[in-house]
Amino acid sequence: MTRPVKTAIVVGAGIVGLTTACRLAEEGYAVTVIERDSGPGNGTSKGNAGQLLFDRIGAMGSASFLRGLPAALMDRSQGIRVHGLAYPSRWNWTRRFLRECTQEAWQKNTEGLLALAHLSRDAMQDFRSRHQMEIDWRRPGKLVTYATGKGLEAAARSANFQGQFGGRHEVLSYDECVSHEPALGQTERPIAGAVYLPDAEVGDCHKCCQELAGILQDKLGGAIRFKTPVTGLERDGSRVTGLRCGADVIRGDVFVLATGRATSGLLRSSFADIKPIVSILGISLTYPLGDAPPNLSVTDTSGRFVMVRLGDRLRVTGYAIFSDKLQARPADVQALQDKAQQLMPRAGAFDVAPDIWIGARPQTPDDLPMIGQAGAKNLFVNAGHGSLGWTLAFGSAEKLLRTMKTRAQTN
């Protein structure tokens, strides 16, 4: 006798929800994605920096982050600002974040991120071998530049720690940086050297969301309901029976919340593993390519911004603003463009008005996303991917699927 098909309802059509939905559909679920926006990937997944960094990532909270924070806040050129972390609604996040700022916690959280990133690299490769996707993917490598020798030495120590778990890196002098990326030859930014990551990849996360939405609906038999905000969950004892969407209730067998920064509001506060999520805003500017575009992606750590070539566009991304207000100030846009022009003057067509985008990284205190069962037998969560959701999405979907299979056997 054939088993009845189970229905899975995934809330959120960002990169995390869509990777999850596609994998659930491939595993035989009848999947419907519920999204409040009018299209796929229009939240944080839309204009991000496009970096797929599977090897040299680290948790945000660390002793050195905390030590450097007062100076970074004073130096406006770094683009770090904090609004309202002292508000009572954010105390819980701030208290828990401070606990993660020790060397031991950084190492533990970084190990967790690297394990998920490695899973993600394999899962993304597997998925792309099954489905054709046009996402401006490349593996050009990356330079992470430092203004001082001291900064470079500290970065090399972190990279050596991360290197225990796999991947490659090299420490380069400024001249070696230029031979790897000639677009840096005319730089006006201070560069003592860089950590070079030869395996770093890039791709357009928004295009990937659009491709995944197409694959889900056209190849995997799934559906997406746009312009449908979920306002609450209906429960019966230990199970969720439906999602409230205004007057409508959407029923299913299993439910996944992939709602990014909106997730804490939908989960019960009594759920033991709930993590608070705050929004850390960033701005990206997208230009046509200039006459000397970079091949490698480049992060300038002294100005805290990234320049990446995505297809025939240049994307410049910066800022870490702790705030919920999705607003880009003209002065911030200008400052980001100025830094980009100083770093690689002919990388983009800087005389053209860029596409300006502002997004909010859904940040947990330990930088690790919530992936797993979420306070009811058939309710799951996949959210809180901070500044790494594009990198971690395919692995997070895989990890969630494994958890769901284990739960299905024990429930």
Ligand X SMILES: Cc1cc2nc3c(=O)[nH]c(=O)nc-3n(C[C@H](O)[C@H](O)[C@H](O)COP(=O)(O)OP(=O)(O)OC[C@H]3O[C@@H](n4cnc5c(N)ncnc54)[C@H](O)[C@@H]3O)c2cc1C
In the complex, the residues that contact ligand X under the rule CB under 6 A are 11-17, 34-37, 42-45, 48-51, 229-230, 258-260, 262, 282, 284, 317, 359-362, 383, 385-391
Residue closer to ligand X (CB basis): 15 or 105:
15
User: Whole-number minimum distance, CB 411 to ligand X, in Å?
Assistant: 26
User: Whole-number minimum distance, CB 278 to ligand X, in Å?
Assistant: 12
CA distances from 377 to 109, 232, 373, 380 (A): 27, 17, 7, 8
Terminal-to-terminal C-alpha distance of the chain:
21
Q: Which of 324, 385, 331 is nearest to 359 (CA)?
A: 324
Residue closer to ligand X (CB basis): 8 or 11:
11
User: Whole-number minimum distance, CB 49 to ligand X, in Å?
Assistant: 3
Residue closer to ligand X (CB basis): 70 or 242:
242
Check the CA dihedral 293-298-299-300 and report its sign: negative
User: Whole-number minimum distance, CB 256 to ligand X, in Å?
Assistant: 11
User: Whole-number minimum distance, CB 180 to ligand X, in Å?
Assistant: 20
Q: Is 87 exposed, middle or buried (0-12, 13-18, 19+ CB in 10 A)?
A: exposed
CA distances from 10 to 189, 204, 208, 283 (A): 45, 22, 17, 28
Residue closer to ligand X (CB basis): 146 or 390:
390
The upper half-sphere exposure of residue 322, i.e. CA atoms within 13 Å in the direction of its Cβ, equals 18
Contact yes or no for 285/50 (Cβ under 8 A): no
Q: Which of 411, 87, 105 is nearest to 278 (CA)?
A: 87
Q: Which of 81, 123, 134 is nearest to 392 (CA)?
A: 123
Residue closer to ligand X (CB basis): 26 or 35:
35
User: Whole-number minimum distance, CB 383 to ligand X, in Å?
Assistant: 6
Q: What token pair was written down for 246?
A: 């205004």
User: Whole-number minimum distance, CB 150 to ligand X, in Å?
Assistant: 26
Sheet strands (E) in 238-352: 239-245, 248-251, 254-257, 278-288, 297-300, 305-310, 313-322
